[in-house]
Amino acid sequence: YVQITLNGALLFDSGSADLKEDAMPVLDQVGIILERYSESIIEIEGHTDSVPINSKEFPSNNDLSDARALSVFYYLMAVTNLDPAYVKHSGRGEYVPIADNSTEGGRALNRRVEIKIYNSLSDY
């Protein structure tokens, strides 16, 4: 697969799954790219850092990461011609870090959305 990684701070305010207005032009461009691969499986994954969240809306990082992946999914479905049958979405919580969660910089890197475009020949 080919992966596009989007910084969480670009897309969302802290503790929120509502897309920022500034994120929409970026996602519009990502949508144009994804439409070139509309026959491939596309997976949208939400990721968080390891700092626990416990709000009324999001009782855990799993809930927050799910909601963020779903927000990106809904936005892309609204602005592209992608077939939702080919687009998966999932929340990965804090379980797949790409950096050290003991530093603010590392936590910032871990708060992200990854979009994976699978080769049509793979078993995904």
What is the residue-averaged pLDDT of the chain? 96
Q: pLDDT band for position 119 (50/70/90)?
A: confident
**If you average pLDDT over residues 104-118, what whole number do you get?**
97
Contact yes or no for 44/72 (Cβ under 8 A): yes
Q: With a cut of 70, say whether residue 122 has pLDDT above it.
A: no
DSSP 8-state assignment for residue 91? E
**If you average pLDDT over residues 54-74, what whole number do you get?**
97
Identity at 108, one-letter amino acid code: A
Report pLDDT for 12.
Answer: 97
Enumerate residues 6+ apart whose C-beta is below 8 A from 56.
none
Contacts 24+ apart (CB under 8 A), 50-57: 50/94, 50/97, 50/101, 50/107, 50/110, 51/101, 51/107, 53/15, 55/15, 57/17
Structure tokens at 10: 């670009």
Question: Among 51, 57, 47, which residue's Cα sits nearest to residue 9?
Answer: 47
pTM, entire model? 0.94
- The angle subtended at Cα 7 by Cα 65 and Cα 21, nearest 5°, is 85
